[in-house]
Amino acid sequence: MESRLNKPLVFAMIAIALVLGLLLGVTTGVADRIFGGPNPKTIASASLQSMRAENRLIAFVARYVSVTTSETSRFGFSSKRTLILPGDVRYELDLSKLQPNDVRWDPSTKTLSVKLPEVEIAGPDVDLASAQEYGEGGVLSALTNASEQLDSANRAKAVTDLRKQAQAQVPMRLAHQAARLAVERSFAMPLIAAGFKDAKVVARFPTEGTDEASYLDLSTPYEEAIKEAERRRAAGGTK
Protein backbone atom coordinates (compact mmCIF):
# COMPACT_ATOMS: atom_id res chain seq x y z
CA MET A 1 0.00 0.00 0.00
CA GLU A 2 1.30 3.41 -0.96
CA SER A 3 -0.08 6.42 0.89
CA ARG A 4 0.37 10.15 1.01
CA LEU A 5 -1.08 13.18 2.72
CA ASN A 6 -3.10 15.44 0.44
CA LYS A 7 -3.06 19.16 1.35
CA PRO A 8 -5.35 21.01 -1.09
CA LEU A 9 -3.85 24.28 -2.32
CA VAL A 10 -7.09 26.20 -1.93
CA PHE A 11 -7.44 25.01 1.67
CA ALA A 12 -3.91 26.18 2.45
CA MET A 13 -4.51 29.56 0.79
CA ILE A 14 -7.63 30.12 2.88
CA ALA A 15 -5.72 29.32 6.08
CA ILE A 16 -2.85 31.62 5.10
CA ALA A 17 -5.23 34.44 4.20
CA LEU A 18 -6.95 34.07 7.54
CA VAL A 19 -3.62 34.22 9.39
CA LEU A 20 -2.50 37.31 7.46
CA GLY A 21 -5.79 39.03 8.13
CA LEU A 22 -5.55 38.36 11.83
CA LEU A 23 -1.95 39.54 11.94
CA LEU A 24 -2.92 42.78 10.22
CA GLY A 25 -5.78 43.29 12.64
CA VAL A 26 -3.57 42.75 15.67
CA THR A 27 -0.72 45.01 14.47
CA THR A 28 -3.02 47.87 13.45
CA GLY A 29 -5.27 47.65 16.49
CA VAL A 30 -8.35 46.93 14.36
CA ALA A 31 -8.92 43.63 16.10
CA ASP A 32 -8.74 45.30 19.52
CA ARG A 33 -11.28 47.94 18.53
CA ILE A 34 -13.68 45.43 17.06
CA PHE A 35 -13.36 42.58 19.54
CA GLY A 36 -12.00 44.38 22.60
CA GLY A 37 -8.78 42.40 22.21
CA PRO A 38 -8.10 39.11 20.44
CA ASN A 39 -10.89 36.69 21.26
CA PRO A 40 -10.13 32.96 20.80
CA LYS A 41 -13.81 32.14 20.34
CA THR A 42 -14.13 34.69 17.53
CA ILE A 43 -10.95 33.42 15.89
CA ALA A 44 -12.14 29.82 16.12
CA SER A 45 -15.52 30.82 14.67
CA ALA A 46 -13.81 32.51 11.69
CA SER A 47 -11.66 29.42 11.15
CA LEU A 48 -14.76 27.23 11.28
CA GLN A 49 -16.52 29.29 8.62
CA SER A 50 -13.48 29.14 6.35
CA MET A 51 -13.27 25.36 6.69
CA ARG A 52 -16.99 24.91 6.06
CA ALA A 53 -16.62 26.98 2.89
CA GLU A 54 -13.84 24.66 1.70
CA ASN A 55 -16.47 21.88 1.86
CA ARG A 56 -14.30 18.74 1.58
CA LEU A 57 -10.85 17.81 2.76
CA ILE A 58 -9.00 14.88 1.20
CA ALA A 59 -6.96 13.96 4.25
CA PHE A 60 -5.41 10.75 2.99
CA VAL A 61 -5.05 8.76 -0.23
CA ALA A 62 -3.97 5.13 -0.48
CA ARG A 63 -3.33 2.75 -3.38
CA TYR A 64 -4.19 -0.92 -3.08
CA VAL A 65 -3.68 -3.88 -5.39
CA SER A 66 -6.16 -6.76 -5.66
CA VAL A 67 -5.35 -10.21 -7.07
CA THR A 68 -8.42 -12.30 -7.89
CA THR A 69 -8.94 -15.59 -9.72
CA SER A 70 -12.11 -17.08 -11.17
CA GLU A 71 -12.62 -20.55 -12.66
CA THR A 72 -15.43 -22.30 -14.48
CA SER A 73 -16.03 -25.76 -15.96
CA ARG A 74 -18.38 -26.88 -18.75
CA PHE A 75 -18.66 -29.84 -21.05
CA GLY A 76 -15.74 -31.48 -19.29
CA PHE A 77 -13.45 -28.52 -19.99
CA SER A 78 -12.26 -25.82 -17.60
CA SER A 79 -11.11 -22.23 -17.87
CA LYS A 80 -9.37 -20.04 -15.30
CA ARG A 81 -8.53 -16.33 -15.35
CA THR A 82 -6.56 -14.14 -12.93
CA LEU A 83 -6.77 -10.36 -12.59
CA ILE A 84 -4.29 -7.99 -10.93
CA LEU A 85 -6.05 -4.65 -10.46
CA PRO A 86 -4.69 -1.55 -8.65
CA GLY A 87 -6.94 1.21 -7.39
CA ASP A 88 -6.83 4.43 -5.37
CA VAL A 89 -9.08 5.18 -2.41
CA ARG A 90 -9.61 8.62 -0.88
CA TYR A 91 -10.31 9.26 2.79
CA GLU A 92 -12.27 12.50 3.06
CA LEU A 93 -13.85 14.81 5.61
CA ASP A 94 -17.04 16.68 4.75
CA LEU A 95 -16.14 19.97 6.43
CA SER A 96 -19.59 21.39 5.74
CA LYS A 97 -20.85 19.07 8.49
CA LEU A 98 -18.86 20.94 11.13
CA GLN A 99 -21.26 22.89 13.35
CA PRO A 100 -20.57 25.68 15.88
CA ASN A 101 -21.30 23.33 18.80
CA ASP A 102 -18.59 20.98 17.47
CA VAL A 103 -15.95 23.61 18.32
CA ARG A 104 -15.52 24.51 22.01
CA TRP A 105 -12.95 26.74 23.73
CA ASP A 106 -11.90 25.99 27.33
CA PRO A 107 -10.25 29.13 28.76
CA SER A 108 -8.99 27.31 31.87
CA THR A 109 -6.82 24.94 29.82
CA LYS A 110 -6.51 27.15 26.70
CA THR A 111 -7.74 24.20 24.65
CA LEU A 112 -9.91 24.28 21.56
CA SER A 113 -11.79 20.98 21.18
CA VAL A 114 -13.09 20.00 17.74
CA LYS A 115 -15.49 17.11 17.15
CA LEU A 116 -14.86 15.84 13.64
CA PRO A 117 -17.40 14.35 11.23
CA GLU A 118 -16.95 10.74 10.21
CA VAL A 119 -14.24 9.85 7.72
CA GLU A 120 -15.74 9.07 4.33
CA ILE A 121 -14.17 6.46 2.04
CA ALA A 122 -14.48 7.41 -1.64
CA GLY A 123 -13.56 5.14 -4.51
CA PRO A 124 -11.92 2.96 -5.51
CA ASP A 125 -10.68 4.66 -8.65
CA VAL A 126 -9.51 1.55 -10.46
CA ASP A 127 -6.51 1.79 -12.80
CA LEU A 128 -7.39 -0.36 -15.81
CA ALA A 129 -4.32 0.89 -17.67
CA SER A 130 -2.13 -0.93 -15.14
CA ALA A 131 -4.39 -3.99 -14.82
CA GLN A 132 -3.07 -7.41 -15.80
CA GLU A 133 -5.33 -10.26 -16.90
CA TYR A 134 -4.06 -13.70 -17.75
CA GLY A 135 -5.01 -17.35 -17.47
CA GLU A 136 -5.77 -20.60 -19.20
CA GLY A 137 -8.68 -20.47 -21.64
CA GLY A 138 -8.20 -23.65 -23.63
CA VAL A 139 -10.98 -25.30 -25.57
CA LEU A 140 -13.75 -23.89 -23.36
CA SER A 141 -12.78 -20.29 -24.09
CA ALA A 142 -12.55 -21.06 -27.78
CA LEU A 143 -16.07 -22.49 -27.84
CA THR A 144 -17.79 -20.08 -25.44
CA ASN A 145 -17.45 -16.60 -23.93
CA ALA A 146 -16.03 -18.10 -20.73
CA SER A 147 -13.02 -15.75 -20.72
CA GLU A 148 -15.21 -12.63 -20.87
CA GLN A 149 -17.43 -13.94 -18.08
CA LEU A 150 -14.44 -14.77 -15.89
CA ASP A 151 -12.88 -11.35 -16.50
CA SER A 152 -16.15 -9.67 -15.51
CA ALA A 153 -16.38 -11.78 -12.36
CA ASN A 154 -12.77 -10.98 -11.49
CA ARG A 155 -13.33 -7.25 -11.84
CA ALA A 156 -16.36 -7.31 -9.57
CA LYS A 157 -14.45 -9.30 -6.95
CA ALA A 158 -11.41 -7.03 -7.30
CA VAL A 159 -13.41 -3.84 -6.63
CA THR A 160 -14.97 -5.46 -3.55
CA ASP A 161 -11.51 -6.55 -2.37
CA LEU A 162 -10.08 -3.04 -2.83
CA ARG A 163 -12.87 -1.63 -0.66
CA LYS A 164 -12.23 -4.25 2.00
CA GLN A 165 -8.53 -3.40 2.07
CA ALA A 166 -9.37 0.30 2.38
CA GLN A 167 -11.50 -0.34 5.47
CA ALA A 168 -8.81 -2.28 7.31
CA GLN A 169 -7.64 -1.11 10.72
CA VAL A 170 -4.22 0.23 9.72
CA PRO A 171 -5.27 2.51 6.84
CA MET A 172 -8.26 3.76 8.85
CA ARG A 173 -5.93 4.67 11.71
CA LEU A 174 -3.59 6.49 9.32
CA ALA A 175 -6.53 8.33 7.77
CA HIS A 176 -7.73 9.44 11.21
CA GLN A 177 -4.27 10.68 12.15
CA ALA A 178 -3.92 12.62 8.90
CA ALA A 179 -7.37 14.19 9.25
CA ARG A 180 -6.82 15.17 12.87
CA LEU A 181 -3.45 16.74 12.08
CA ALA A 182 -4.81 18.76 9.14
CA VAL A 183 -7.76 20.12 11.13
CA GLU A 184 -5.71 20.87 14.25
CA ARG A 185 -3.17 22.84 12.23
CA SER A 186 -5.89 24.79 10.44
CA PHE A 187 -7.42 25.91 13.75
CA ALA A 188 -4.08 26.42 15.53
CA MET A 189 -2.44 28.70 12.95
CA PRO A 190 -4.84 31.66 13.38
CA LEU A 191 -4.79 31.33 17.18
CA ILE A 192 -1.00 31.40 17.31
CA ALA A 193 -0.88 34.29 14.87
CA ALA A 194 -3.25 36.26 17.14
CA GLY A 195 -0.94 35.78 20.11
CA PHE A 196 -2.41 32.67 21.73
CA LYS A 197 0.88 30.78 21.57
CA ASP A 198 -0.08 28.46 24.45
CA ALA A 199 -3.36 27.45 22.82
CA LYS A 200 -3.89 23.77 22.07
CA VAL A 201 -6.21 22.29 19.50
CA VAL A 202 -7.50 18.75 20.03
CA ALA A 203 -9.55 17.19 17.24
CA ARG A 204 -11.36 13.93 17.85
CA PHE A 205 -13.78 11.63 16.04
CA PRO A 206 -17.09 10.57 17.65
CA THR A 207 -15.85 6.99 18.06
CA GLU A 208 -12.41 7.95 19.34
CA GLY A 209 -11.32 5.69 22.16
CA THR A 210 -13.56 2.79 21.11
CA ASP A 211 -13.02 -0.25 18.91
CA GLU A 212 -15.66 0.95 16.47
CA ALA A 213 -14.43 2.07 13.06
CA SER A 214 -15.21 5.69 12.22
CA TYR A 215 -16.06 6.08 8.53
CA LEU A 216 -18.85 6.31 6.01
CA ASP A 217 -18.66 4.11 2.93
CA LEU A 218 -19.17 6.27 -0.17
CA SER A 219 -17.38 3.84 -2.45
CA THR A 220 -18.28 3.75 -6.13
CA PRO A 221 -20.50 0.85 -7.31
CA TYR A 222 -18.60 -1.80 -9.27
CA GLU A 223 -20.17 -1.04 -12.64
CA GLU A 224 -19.55 2.70 -12.30
CA ALA A 225 -15.96 2.18 -11.16
CA ILE A 226 -15.16 0.03 -14.19
CA LYS A 227 -17.01 2.29 -16.65
CA GLU A 228 -15.26 5.39 -15.34
CA ALA A 229 -11.87 3.66 -15.62
CA GLU A 230 -12.70 2.59 -19.18
CA ARG A 231 -13.69 6.17 -20.09
CA ARG A 232 -10.40 7.53 -18.71
CA ARG A 233 -8.45 4.85 -20.53
CA ALA A 234 -10.25 5.51 -23.83
CA ALA A 235 -9.60 9.24 -23.47
CA GLY A 236 -5.90 8.53 -23.04
CA GLY A 237 -5.88 9.73 -19.43
CA THR A 238 -4.28 8.19 -16.41
CA LYS A 239 -5.85 7.05 -13.17
Q: Directed axis angle between helix 40-54 and helix 169-193, to 10°?
A: 130
What does the pLDDT read at residue 112?
95
Q: pLDDT tens digits for the chain (239 residues)?
A: 555 545 555 455 555 555 555 444 444 444 444 445 679 999 999 999 999 998 899 999 999 999 998 887 665 566 788 899 999 999 999 999 999 999 999 999 999 999 999 999 998 999 988 989 887 654 444 445 567 788 888 889 999 999 999 999 899 999 999 999 999 999 999 999 999 999 999 999 987 765 555 566 666 777 777 777 778 777 775 44
Q: Give the pTM.
A: 0.71
Cα gap 41→106, rounded to integer Å? 10
